[in-house]
Structure 1
Amino acid sequence: MKKLIAKHRETLLVTLLGLVIFALLNYLMVQWHEEPWTNPKMGYWSVFRKYFCLSGFDAHTYVTVSKWRPLYELYRHPMLALYMWPLSWINGQLNDIFHINCAIYTVAVAWTIISTATWTLLYKLLRNVVGLAVGSALLLGLFHYSFSHVMLAAIAPDHMILTQFLLILTLFIATRRKEGLPLWQALTLCFVSAGVSLTNGIKIWLMDIASRTRERLTFNNIMRRSLLYLIPAAMLGAMYFIQTETTEKEEHQWQVTMRDKRIAKDSTYLARLRADSLRQAKERSRQTTDSKLFQWTDNSVERTPLLVENIFGEGLILHEEHLLEDANLTKNPRPVIIRYDNRWQYIAEGTIVTLFALGLFCAMRKRLMWMALLPFLFDMFLHVGMRFAASDVYIMTAHWAFVIPIAVAYLIRRTAEIDRRSLSPLLHVIILVLTATLWWHNLSLIAGKLLEHS
């Protein structure tokens, strides 16, 4: 045991640091509306919907863990409700013991473990694959989690942290072998990841192709390997069909029954349903095309402000105005585009983007860089090209933001090789200042919001 601890001492210490950070962050989260959520005076859906408003994240996970229900949209998250069943079962056992709803504690523990694992995997990528020193790898890990909606993903009861973990896990596994991802692992990761969010399956495929050696990157090899992804696709299709015929039908029937009871009791409820229907019809008119798959696209949002204020803006640095409000609310929605009041925020954003671009230039021949970059480009195609989820695109930041510290890691390596005396220390100072500033700014605003109603 002593030899084992000595061998992995560095990893254990880094993991312990991550555990402390994410435990404290999730402690903040469980303080938020703790009383009404642990001792609800109404149904789980109603109580979480009433009090939960966090930047556009959903409270579906809290509801599902409180009492298991298939609330997630199957065509986008075909297996996510099933993944939440073990947490719901654990929560049921805790409810019997403590006689309160322990969903927020159950999710907080699970999210702390997942976030700590993600933090450790990212550190090992930067340390072992890129080849950074301990201090540089730790600094970039803290830099990554200083981004506002990466920090929020570690505590918000939504699927973003699961996606981030699975994508970074894929990078970690693929870089352990010169040949890239073994086929069975690639197909398994595709099935599991696409079960969380369907687009993750495409990202795993892109990572798999990018992990191939140059000798194997021929058109025929790519086509043959790509065709094998029909296996997890077929399995997901089967799971989708089974759930639509079982749990989905039961959930729909239950919702219709509850709606009819509500209409009988509340004469104004039918009018609100009609108003919601009109609002949804107006939103559909802004879609890229009239299809259910494109219902979250919005052609009314301009692409340049979307990039500057939301993707590389709100996703990394919180706006103080309309702090953590939801742009999809029926009443008093957050404006889709908000501009910063202070010039330093644009300077910080521009510096991050510049470091990212320089890092990409330094790492164009690195396999890890391409494995991280291709999913990022796919996300940019969705969010900027198609304007998918444009109204609250920043909540997806955890899906792609890890590409930034990976690119900057290669920039650090390159500057160290060119000149150790000036460029490398200056670069570390810039990243340290950015990291400290973003942690202070984002965490103080998030903590203030969560503790305000504790």
Structure 2
Amino acid sequence: MSLKTKFIHFFKLLFPSSGTELIVLLFFLVVYGYLGSYIAIHYKIIFDSRIPWDAYFSFDNKSIVMTGGSFERHPLSYYFFNWIRELALLYSGGKMNGDFRFILAWFSNFAVSLSVLQIFKYLKNIIRLPLILNFLLVLFFGAFSTTILLSFTPENFTYTLFLLTLFNHYSAIKLKKDEKIPALALAFSGVTIGGLTVTNIAKVFIPVAFEKGLFKSWKKFGNAVFRVTLTLIFFVLLYLNRIDFKYQNIFSKTNEQYEKFSNVNSTPTWDMILSYFFGGNILFSNFIVRDKHNMAGYHYKGLIMTVYSSWIPYIFIAVLLMLISWSYYNNFKNKLVQVLMISFLFDILIHCIMRFGLHTSYIYGGHFVFVYPLLLGWLFYSYKESPKMLSFLTVIFTLLFVYLLTNNYLRMVEFFWFLNQYY
């Protein structure tokens, strides 16, 4: 295949390749664009040079934009955010004003809208659901608290969401065709995804394990080992170069971060898991305003999520998790479903079992929240020959969708109250 053909295929993968796909992308660009533009122009919360972190929901906007975040968790994002910051400054004439915030918001909008497009493409081209179900599932996904917040937030999670949805769609195409993921594609995915959040590099290797005949042929197994090793070598060398090969700093800083973000016991673990990890990424929970300071004398207000105060959101999350588990059970022999679930279980291990950042796990949604609409898609697919069951599932899904829209709309009204009061 020529280089030109590869580029054409890549752009068809990345951008709309049909009228319906173009409509999906434009719809979310307009909706998220209006939201983000309004916030950027009228409020300072997207970027305030005095506030390095925690202005809303524990996002580190200023810190991320200026430095790319901590090197031990986001080793290569420094370079990525340098480009974004410089482009935003170019547009704003070197000032960190409303124009600067506007461009930051539109970068986020573009990344999240493309993420939604990747979900739509996966549902349409891989699962091949009826068009109406595809639209409903991407609207459901687009109304998640994570996708709403990331659509205007300059954060690592924003671009991680895009890269992971793109890679999952790409790897699903390869697995469906019984093709292997090329070495350069795997290396590029590993460096970009792992570069933004180091633990996510493991997810890049999951589809490799499901390539056809991998464990039946020494040649294929050896080739897979070579591709994984090559990816790790590229990643490690770039990581070490970023920190001037002072690798001791990685271990000391990682341990320090783990201690800081894993030893919070103010809320029962089961409630943090349901309200923050499984719930907060989809369904906004209650908000509380906290007094914050930047360690340099500036005091400000921060908005954070607390646990659900009503039994209804718990029922919502329980039903959604039952549907996801049902999908996994029905499609257990489907390697594409296994890739999604193993990736999801990896995040459950880190946040729920190892408890890293469990008390703020509602901010980590970009790492895994896309799994929900895809597994729901596979659940609908498993009953494509059963009209009665499809109707039952559609009714349940519609009820969840209506509640999600209602809840998240009301919470965003509260969010704007917070902006009007303090920003």
Smaller-chain TM-score bracket? 0.7 to 0.9
Residues 151-162 of structure 1 aligned to structure 2 (within 5 Å): 151-162=148-159
How do residues 11-410 of structure 1 correspond to structure 2 at under 5 angstroms? 11-31=21-41, 33-34=43-44, 44=49, 46=50, 48-49=51-52, 53-60=55-62, 63-64=65-66, 70=67, 72-96=69-93, 100=97, 102-177=99-174, 178=177, 179-210=179-210, 212-213=211-212, 215-218=213-216, 221-222=220-221, 225-245=224-244, 291-292=255-256, 294-301=258-265, 302-322=268-288, 338-410=306-378
Q: Distance in 2 between matches of 1:162 and 1:113?
A: 10
SS at 1:322's partner residue? strand
Kept in 1: contact 2:180–2:208 (CA 8 A): yes
Q: Is the 8 A contact 2:383 2:389 kept in 1?
A: yes
AA partner of residue 58 (structure 1):
D
- Count residues in correspondence: 391
Residue equivalent to 1:282: none
Q: Are the structure 2 counterparts of residues 7 and 318 from structure 1 closer, same or farther at C-alpha, using a change threshold of 3 Å?
A: closer
Q: Which moved more, 1:359-368 or 1:89-98?
A: 89-98
Is the contact between residue 327 and residue 336 of structure 1 (CA under 8 Å) also seen in structure 2? no
Secondary structure in structure 2 of the residue aligned to 1:78: coil
CA contact (8 A) 1:31 1:451 kept: no
Structure 1: distance between partners of 2:96 and 2:43: 18
Alpha-carbon distance in structure 2 between the residues aligned to 1:7 and 1:313:
34
Unaligned runs of 5+ in 1: 65-69, 247-288
Cα 1:62–1:175 shift into 2, 3 Å: closer
C-alpha distance in 1 between matches for 2:17 and 2:302 = 50
Q: Following the alignment from structure 1 to structure 2, what is the Cα–Cα distance between the partners of residues 406 and 290?
A: 32
The 1:190–1:114 alpha-carbon spacing in structure 2 relative to 1, beyond 3 Å, is same
Mapped to 2, the partners of 1:245 and 1:444 lie a distance apart of 48
Task: Report the secondary structure of 2:282's partner residue.
Answer: coil
**Match of 1:182, as an amino acid?**
P
Alignment partner, residue 18 of structure 2: 8
Structure 1 residue 335, shift from structure 2 partner: 12
- Taking every aligned residue pair, what percent have the same amino acid on both sides? 18
Structure number with larger C-alpha Rg: 1
Q: 1:88 to 1:196 in 2, by over 3 A?
A: same
On the 8 A contact 2:65/2:81 being kept in 1, the answer is no
Counterpart residue identity of residue 35, structure 2: L
* C-alpha RMSD of the superposition: 3.4
Point out where structure 2 has 5 or more consecutive residues left out of the alignment. 1-11, 246-252
TM-score (norm 2): 0.82
Question: How far did residue 411 of structure 1 move?
Answer: 1.5
Deviation per residue, 1:362-396 (Å, 9 max, x gap): 22122221221111111111111211112201111
Work out the CA distance in 1 between the residues paired with 2:158 and 2:46: 22
CA-to-aligned-CA distance 1:267-308 (integer Å, 9 cap, x gap): xxxxxxxxxxxxxxxxxxxxxx99246344424545422322
Superposed CA offset, 1:141-198 (max 9, x none): 1112222223222222211121111111112112223214222211211111111111
Could you tell me whether the CA contact under 8 Å between 1:37 and 1:101 is conserved in 2? no
Alpha-carbon offset, residue 120 of structure 1: 0.9
Distance 1:115 1:332, change over 3 A: closer
Q: Which has the higher contact order (CA 8 A, sep 6+)?
A: 1
Aligned mates of 2:354, 2:303 — CA distance in 1: 20
